[in-house]
Amino acid sequence: MISSNTQQNVGVVADVRPVFISGVYRSSTTFLAALVGCHEQYRATSSLVKFMRFCLYRFDPIQEPENHERLVDEAFQRVKKRWDVTFDAAAALAYARKNGVSYASLYDALMRQILIDNGGGDGEWIDKTAVLWSRIPDFLSMFPKGKVIHILRDPRSVCASYKKITNEPGYTYLDAAFNTVHAIQSVRRYVKELGPDRILLLKSEDLLTNPEHHVAEICDFLDVPFSDRMMQPDKFGEILGEDWKSNTSFRGTLSGFHPPSEYWRKNMSAAEIKFVEMITQPYLSEFGYDADGLPPTKEEWSQMYNFLEDPLIRDRFSKLLKTGEGSEGYRTDPYLTEMRIVFPERFEGQQAGQ
């Protein structure tokens, strides 16, 4: 990933207060985006534009008309194809040019125009993109008044949920453990470097079990008044993009502040559970996620060795042993996956992994 320190013309939009929702997949990120979007001052999207993944640094030099026009056109086609959402692309371009073309002004222009054209009004915007916490410093650099909320969920629950829904091969779902480690390590570093007033780390389970307290915490963090609407996400939790109510692996539909689940107890093997617990300690216990502490049996050790025969899991494990660091990312590049869907003509004659 390209370092923000080496980039030019990223730009700054100083007079807006957007919110970036971050987290590992299957970690309540969509619900959190919808929840914050209940507030009168905000309007939410989830996995819609995904500017930080699909746009940032991909259209250099961004000041060239051909490049920033192509950025807006591709965003329009992606959003329309994937979500059946449209917006006035010419108006978004005009708004960005009025404020001086940069990645920051284009990001702000796209988000504002999409919300205005789709009934969201002109409030501050919320963008949720999972598995992209490495871009948090870039987001906060572009928007000095912006804020980031990163949500953490029990990695065993994340693994069980991903195991249920993913089409990825092998033991891909176990990669959630390595992503969790990397996320915690990264977000803590960002909080230290950029300040706790810019980044909030929140546990999903805490939010769901004590919503009034943590809704108040979120409002204090965002410097906005407490809103009773945020206590009624079923009524006010409208969101462009992913639907949070149907975004569940085990329950069919979600409603309000649903109780945290522990489906991992019945949907993961003992070897899988212990593997995730070993990878994510000491963070697992530090964040209040209890583990039984029993050593794996000989059979369970053998099963864990089988996990490491998956090249992805082996590479993640080797990196952890060598550096002590987790890993961020998916097995299959989501950028290429979506671009193949939206622009298939660009990939004719290529195999899926290319």
Write out pLDDT tens, residues 156-181: 999 999 998 898 999 999 999 999 99
CA torsion sign for 78, 79, 83, 84 is: negative
Distance in angstroms between the alpha carbons of the first and the last residue of the chain = 18
Q: How far apart are CA 231 and CA 234, in angstroms?
A: 9
11: nearest Cα among 132, 119, 72, 100: 100
| Average pLDDT, integer, range 185-201 | 98
Q: Which alpha helices (H) appear in 239-310, and where do they start and end?
A: 264-267, 270-280, 283-286, 298-307
Say if CB 304 and CB 296 are below 8 A apart.
yes
Q: What's the mean pLDDT when you consider all of the chain?
A: 92
Q: What is the pTM of this model?
A: 0.93
Number of H helices, E strands in the chain: 17, 6
> Is the confidence at residue 3, as pLDDT, over 50?
no
Confidence of residue 250 (pLDDT cuts 50, 70, 90): very low
Q: How far apart are CA 128 and CA 57, in angstroms?
A: 19
Q: Which two tokens stand for residue 268?
A: 């993961």
> Is the confidence at residue 8, as pLDDT, over 70?
no
Say if CB 157 and CB 177 are below 8 A apart.
no
Q: Which two tokens stand for residue 5?
A: 């320190």
Query: What is the per-residue pLDDT for 326?
Result: 98
Q: How far apart are CA 158 and CA 173, in angstroms?
A: 8
Query: Which region holds residue 324: left if phi is over 0, alpha if psi is between -120 and 50, else beta?
Result: left
Write out pLDDT tens, residues 270-295: 999 999 999 999 999 999 999 989 99
Cis-peptide, bond into residue 282, ω within 30° of zero: yes
Distance of CA 281 to the CA centre of its chain: 22
48: nearest Cα among 214, 243, 194, 262: 243
Query: What is the per-residue pLDDT for 130?
Result: 95
> Is the confidence at residue 245, as pLDDT, over 90?
no
